[in-house]
DNA sequence: TACACTTATGGAAACGTTACCACATCAATG
DNA sequence: CATTGATGTGGTAACGTTTCCATAAGTGTA
């Protein structure tokens, strides 16, 4: 019924008499308008997709929370998709999301290349979060290179002579950026910058500590993220190595646990919640204003000094 | 076109000639069938709602991951809703989810009463996770009372004479159960069981440590969850109190950080991932087999002994 | 030949909305 | 009085599928 539609959407002319009658009946029948039917006719489903490696990872769960909060404010629902960093799962989820006519997708820390995403999504708005765009795509990111530089410089300024980096996985742009920042800071002082590779997980930080000890302990270590730093702290504790007495340690991310652990961890803050929130805002602009020019939002990495240095 | 539908759903009679032609065209046009239209006609949207207090909380993000994995296996998408423990937001989200015709809802650690949920959902399948049902509703839970008992008994067996409990918020059934288990264990030894209240967050554990010190330090503390236990560890460290030398500490949940911190935390394990997974399985049974008898799945709390005791 | 059954195809209704158009009433204006 | 504009109401097509029905050709059997 047209009049019912007008009442629900508060559009057009409706006499207050009809309005009241309609409202009363809706109340009685516990009537909830169908978003599905609405979506079919209008093409707007008020849903967006969230493609993220793993919500149970503390950094990503922060991002996810920011995304859901912002989306909720805009009246958008979020469909959660965990890709586990697998391109194949990313593609599968994208197909599903397309079938659901989501209005856009927030892609967090994806493995698929931008070309892949663009071609698969074929026109569906999307935003990259925690990843810089080289093409013409909206994105939210921080300058990982600068972050790596800041972290390393902090170690040097604290008087470290031999610094090391435990970097993230080879195929991660973030890990790459931080590593380059590390190398730049090291080069400035004509120091050598040794590094070993991890996978961003606690266990790999724990394991790294063993390898490092074999090579002789440096006096400063920059860990590619907080989870690995926590692993290193735990390993050091087990080995009787003291932080910051025996070496200084800097992490990256500033997940909440970094300030809950002992020693509290000096780290480079990445505002996950905010980045998620911004991602949705940019996405919403694309959705609302059609194919406007893609925008990027860059956050500055920020050193948070705590007890580990 | 009927034939296209038959090809897509692999149903009815289609000549291999037509099938090939249809598939070829679908390929060329990058055709993805619309779940929205499908949902409208069939009433099945292949989506479920996830109503959870806060995904950025480590225990819940584990649960959420379990839920998404299980749902994905069953071909269901998950719509994420963070309620922040607010009844009002729970209700709002439920209305939204109903409008979206989700096939069911997994309700994790809700504040709304079962009666409220049942009346608002009016027939829509749902499952309670991390909460026991007193009505006739499917649920996945652990015996919090037993968990509290085990934790406290462990302290007593380790030789504690004066034990205390830092419990969770008054309106949380989990907090209540654990507290009761604590009281039972204490009563068995005719000990007095003092307690103070927190809100399950790190900060409240940190704050609790201060109050406890004013009253004189007990030799064993059972914290209502791991986050508060971590807060207490951190506070103790600041105050120069040593764990387990000065007092023993037991937590609850076994979030991953409990084994990443120093001292590693003795705790009562609650299998969040599995509980989420089971929740979806029970929900799916309700969805698939109509209103079959509600089932409940109970997990046993399990003591994990580490260095804090 | 006549009948039944299998295989194959397309037409039409239905799902629950919204957008658009047609129409009706009433008051104000010239 | 005729015209205009504001106000209000209901009919109908459309969105993209699936389900059901009608139809038709081909094959085997009595």
Q: Give the per-residue pLDDT at B289.
A: 84
d(CA A154, CA A249): 10
Q: How far is residue A78's CA from residue B241's CA, in Å, rounded to a whole number? A: 45
Q: What is the mean pLDDT of residues A191-203?
A: 92
pLDDT for A176 equals 96
- Please compute the mean of the pLDDT values over residues B127-155 and round it to a whole number: 95
Mean local confidence (pLDDT), A192-218 = 93
- Spatial neighbors of B271 by CB under 8 A, at least 6 apart, are B142, B299
Q: What is the mean pLDDT of residues A238-245?
A: 94
D6 nearest neighbour residue (CA to C1'): A13
Cβ distance A131 to A176 under 8 Å?
no
What residue spans of chain B are helical by DSSP H? 2-9, 16-29, 35-42, 58-73, 87-99, 114-121, 144-157, 173-188, 202-214, 226-239, 272-288
The SS3 assignment for B31 reads: coil
- Mean pLDDT estimate for chain B: 94
Tell me the C-alpha distance between B42 and A56, whole Å. 34
- Residue range B203-228: mean pLDDT, rounded: 95
Average pLDDT of the segment spanning B58-66: 97
Closest partner residue to A33 (CB to CB) among B99, B230, B273 is B99
A:B CB pairs within 8 Å: 134
- The alpha carbon of residue A305 is apart from the nearest alpha carbon of chain B, in Å, by 17
Does the nearest atom of strand D lie within 7 Å of A18's Cβ? Answer: yes
**Looking at residue B185, what is its pLDDT?**
97
Mean pLDDT, residues A52-65 taken together: 97
- Surface of B (201-240) touching A: CB under 8 A: 202, 230-231, 233-234, 237
Q: Give me the B residues in range 177-206 that sit within 7 A (CB) of strand C.
A: none
Q: Is A50 on the interface with B (CB under 8 A)?
A: yes
CA pair distance B38, B165, nearest whole angstrom:
53
Which residues are CB-contacts of A103 (< 8 A; sequence separation ≥ 6)? A44, A45, A46, A47, A48, A76, A125, A287
Query: Tens digit of pLDDT for each residue in B194-209?
Result: 999 999 999 999 999 9
Q: How far apart are CA A42 and CA B31, in angstroms?
A: 19
Nearest to A260 among B36, B37, B234 (CB): B234
Mean of pLDDT values over A170-193: 93
Give the model's pLDDT for residue A191: 85
Question: CB < 7 Å to strand D — which of 30-89 in chain B?
Answer: 31-34, 36-38, 40-42
Question: What's the CA–C1' distance between B36 and C9, in Å?
Answer: 26
User: What is the pLDDT, as a whole number, of residue B135?
Assistant: 83
Model confidence at A290: pLDDT above 80: no
What percentage of chain B has pLDDT greater than the value 90?
Answer: 80
Site of tokens 């949902």 = B39
- In a 13 Å sphere around the CA of B251, the CA atoms on its Cβ side amount to 34
CB contact under 8 A, A55 and B40: no
Mean pLDDT, residues B65-85:
97
Instruction: Output the pLDDT for position B296.
Output: 93
- pLDDT above 90 covers a percentage of chain A that reads 81
Query: pLDDT at position B262, please?
Result: 87
Nearest to B97 by CA among B106, B88, B86: B106
Give the model's pLDDT for residue B299.
Answer: 96
- Chain C positions within 7 A of any protein Cβ atom are 7-12, 14-21
Contacts of A122 in chain B (CB under 8 A): 30
d(CA A50, CA A279): 10
The reply to whether the CB atom of residue A1 sits less than 7 A from any atom in nucleic acid chain D is yes
The answer on pLDDT for A279 being more than 70 is yes
- Quick check: B83 contacting A, CB < 8 Å? no
Distance from CA of B94 to the nearest CA of A (A): 11
In this complex, the answer to whether residue A34 has its CB under 7 A from any atom of chain C, a nucleic strand, is yes
Give A-chain residues touching B257 at CB under 8 angstroms.
230, 257, 260
CA A144 to chain centre: 13
The pLDDT of residue A44 is above 90: yes
Give the CA A20 to C1' C25 distance in Å. 21
Q: What is the mean pLDDT of residues A169-190?
A: 94
- Protein CA at A135 to nucleotide C1' at C30, angstroms: 64
CA A255 – CA B96 distance, rounded (Å): 31
Residue B291: predicted pLDDT: 65
What is the enclosing helix (H) or strand (E) of A232? helix A226-239
Q: What is the pLDDT of residues B159-170, one digit of tens each?
A: 999 999 999 999
Give pLDDT, residue A291. 65
What angle (nearest 5°) sits at the alpha carbon of residue A54, between those of residues A53 and A59?
A: 100
Chain B contacts in chain A segment 163-192 (CB below 8 A): none
Gap from B53 CA to chain A (nearest CA, Å):
11
What was the pLDDT predicted at B22?
87
pLDDT of res. A305:
98
User: Bridge partners of A250?
Assistant: A222, A266
Query: Rounded CA gap, B216 and B72, in Å?
Result: 51
| Mean pLDDT calculated for residue range B251-257 | 96
Q: Which pLDDT score, from 0 to 100, does residue B79 have?
A: 98
């Amino acid at each position: 019924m047209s009049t019912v539609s007008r009442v629900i959407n508060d559009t057009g002319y409706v006499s207050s008499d009809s309005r009241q009658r309609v409202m009363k009946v809706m109340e009685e029948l516990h009537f909830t308008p169908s978003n599905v039917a609405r979506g079919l006719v209008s093409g707007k489903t008020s849903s967006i997709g969230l493609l993220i490696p793993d919500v149970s990872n503390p950094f990503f769960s922060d991002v996810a929370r920011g995304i859901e909060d912002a989306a909720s404010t805009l009246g958008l629902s979020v469909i959660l998709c965990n890709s586990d960093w697998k391109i194949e799962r990313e593609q599968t989820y994208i197909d599903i999301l397309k079938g659901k006519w989501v209005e856009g997708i927030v892609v967090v820390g994806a493995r698929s290349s931008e070309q892949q995403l663009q071609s698969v999504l074929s026109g569906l708005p999307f935003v990259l979060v925690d990843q810089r765009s080289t093409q013409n795509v909206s994105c939210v990111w921080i300058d990982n290179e600068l972050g790596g530089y800041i972290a390393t410089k902090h170690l040097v300024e604290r008087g470290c002579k031999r610094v090391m980096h435990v970097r993230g996985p080879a195929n991660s742009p973030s890990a790459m950026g931080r590593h380059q920042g590390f190398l730049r800071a090291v080069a400035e002082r004509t120091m050598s910058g040794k590094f070993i590779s991890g996978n961003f997980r606690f266990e790999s930080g724990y394991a790294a500590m063993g390898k490092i000890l074999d090579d002789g302990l440096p006096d400063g270590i920059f860990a590619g993220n907080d989870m690995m730093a926590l692993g290193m702290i735990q390993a050091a504790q087990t080995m009787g190595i003291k932080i910051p007495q025996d070496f200084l340690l800097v992490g990256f991310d500033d997940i909440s646990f970094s300030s809950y652990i002992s020693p509290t961890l000096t780290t480079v803050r990445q505002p996950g919640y905010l980045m998620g929130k911004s991602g949705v805002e940019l996405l919403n602009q694309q959705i609302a204003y059609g194919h406007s020019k893609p925008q990027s939002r860059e956050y500055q990495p920020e050193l948070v000094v705590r007890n580990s240095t």
